[in-house]
Structure 1
């Protein structure tokens, strides 16, 4: 029996701010601003991004930067948060941790602090109004100077808290082939002292050594991607031993050409190794797939049955910073989802 994954309660722990934007919202915003988007994004959506070489990543980053350049107002920023929460709710998500680097939006809204406050305020508003709680991860860019990361870590620490509308984590994103994770230890220390979850990217474009470096330098709670830990049994064993959750994003792995097909993503092998896994959509705007699609991929391409999909959903909640009441409610509804037949699965509800 295959129950609908859209009604399976889950958490979404790997979603980037601009990358979460609906394609229709991007098109409307670009028209209103008179902005000209790259034809590779407009004419054939989702765009073809395959290749992990420098040109492949440059293609991805160029399109992402073009979309991000359209985010120039408080209204657009609020719309992105609200629509991401709405889309997640439709897919059974109970808790969303959205990742944002306020640096890019700061010039348009009055500075770094104001940019982050807009995102936090809208996250608080949509959490109060709907079935999805939204926490925020502040993410530094590894292609900027480590001192910039420390600035963002201090800003994140000032807004650290528990529950919706708070900064709950600190990450490190962008091309992992540039900017060694060790250079950002100071920023991680600041964030950890504030009680934030440490959630850097690692082990997607680079192999298991990048995961090892991330474990040593960041002492992370989760690793964004981390799939290539599978390439070294010792590294994978450390991931499992330390209880680090891997934010696995199959759609983006294939989209960027890290793996050739959905069947090649080592999701099954990571799961059977005992690794904690939270499926994520990464950047739906560019990869064309959202959270529920990742569960469908696990089912269709990797042979996950409903009990195993429910286990993935439980792990996503366990790896999150969701309030315990949200987790407990979702755990109960996961059990109900498994007990129901495919026409009687529980619908998403508000706590």
Structure 2
């Protein structure tokens, strides 16, 4: 029997960065409109060849992201980005999306961080109505900036805890900064009922995962994949029910793993860890949500039952309302049952 089209498998997308969700064609169109020069890596040599093996490599990656951000000039640009991200997820079988944004990177152009956050949340509400996709926002701090900036962002996120913001994150090069210094910001967010969703365990190993667990009390970890290097860390994550947002294509593109076949997804599943596959930055990696499922199926010979369970896990560790979770989980069960009937 031919492999099933995984676009019909309902799933959640929990690791998607704001500018990184932009369609490549949209980037080119907006840059041409305003006469913005883009580097060849974002034009003729797209998707770029990237590596984060050292800080220079990460700097080059971050520079491309920063250049891409500059094409967002108007409110309509922001609304278009959000709408197209929603459309892309729906096409890939997405039923719930949590999109991550650092308002401090956009506030200067859009009237301040609060005004920009209002704009994003309004755009998310519109896109959700237009596409039928459940959506929420994660506000994230930048670990290369001062921890006091993170506290300001956490207070901002707390103001929107009942208006579409569901979590607080910490992104950028995890080799930079001191993780413990951001604990106060995460405490502010948790007191407001927001989930702690920091990055960790991608560019640094399981020892940094432990630091994140101890200092930031995460509900999920962005990436976290290198926890597979220490069985004791894996056991702790599994017992605590902490979700890992695993982004296989970006892991390989950035040099964390040499090939898709070496991404330790089977080890994570075997250890009982809750895994949610994510695309990270499709604009820079050329790979959307569906590709994470199809590449992992091919690389690890995953059967439909395992893929359906991955989709269930993505829903379980999401911040979707219970009614949404129950509906999507039921639809995943129906997807699995229809395949059994065909067999």
Q: Shared topology, TM-score over 0.5?
A: yes
Task: Answer yes or no: is the 8 Å Cα contact 2:40–2:46 preserved in 1.
Answer: no
Q: Which runs of 5+ in 2 are unaligned?
A: none
The residue that corresponds to 1:347 in the other structure is none
Q: CA deviation at 1:278?
A: 0.3
Q: CA deviation at 1:65?
A: 0.9
Q: What secondary structure is seen at the aligned counterpart in 2 of 1:3?
A: coil
Mapped pair 1:282 → 2:283: no
The residue that corresponds to 2:190 in the other structure is 192
The residue that corresponds to 2:117 in the other structure is 116
Distance in 1 of aligned mates of 2:325 and 2:191: 25
Distance in 1 of aligned mates of 2:142 and 2:290: 28
Q: Deviations over 1:112-154 (max 9, x none)?
A: 0000010001111121222211100000000000010000000
Q: CA deviation at 1:52?
A: 1.4
Distance in 1 of aligned mates of 2:128 and 2:24: 23
Distance in 2 of aligned mates of 1:130 and 1:76: 18
The residue that corresponds to 1:324 in the other structure is 322
- Call closer, same or farther: CA 1:31–1:153 in 2, change over 3 Å: same
Q: Which moved more, 1:187-196 or 1:38-47?
A: 38-47
The residue that corresponds to 2:178 in the other structure is 180
Task: Answer yes or no: is the 8 Å Cα contact 2:52–2:61 preserved in 1.
Answer: no
Q: Deviations over 1:192-218 (max 9, x none)?
A: 000001100001001111100000000
Number of aligned positions between the proteins: 341
Task: Answer yes or no: is the 8 Å Cα contact 1:12–1:280 preserved in 2.
Answer: yes
Q: What secondary structure is seen at the aligned counterpart in 1 of 2:174?
A: coil
Q: 1:96-175 maps to which residues of 2 (within 5 A)?
A: 96-161=97-162, 166-175=164-173
Distance in 2 of aligned mates of 1:340 and 1:298: 22
Q: What secondary structure is seen at the aligned counterpart in 2 of 1:106?
A: coil
Q: Which moved more, 1:276-285 or 1:58-67?
A: 58-67
Q: CA deviation at 1:341?
A: 4.0
Q: Which runs of 5+ in 1 are unaligned?
A: 345-351
Runs of 4+ with >3 A deviation: 341-344
The residue that corresponds to 1:69 in the other structure is 70
Distance in 2 of aligned mates of 1:126 and 1:219: 31
Q: CA deviation at 1:76?
A: 1.0
Distance in 2 of aligned mates of 1:312 and 1:194: 29
Q: What secondary structure is seen at the aligned counterpart in 1 of 2:109?
A: helix
Q: Which moved more, 1:122-131 or 1:265-274?
A: 122-131
Higher relative contact order (CA 8 A, sep 6+): 1
The residue that corresponds to 1:28 in the other structure is 29
**Alpha-carbon RMSD:** 1.4
Q: CA deviation at 1:342?
A: 10
Q: Deviations over 1:212-258 (max 9, x none)?
A: 00000001000000011011121111111111000000010001010
Distance in 2 of aligned mates of 1:326 and 1:259: 34
Distance in 1 of aligned mates of 2:337 and 2:241: 28
Distance in 2 of aligned mates of 1:197 and 1:203: 18
Mapped pair 1:231 → 2:232: no
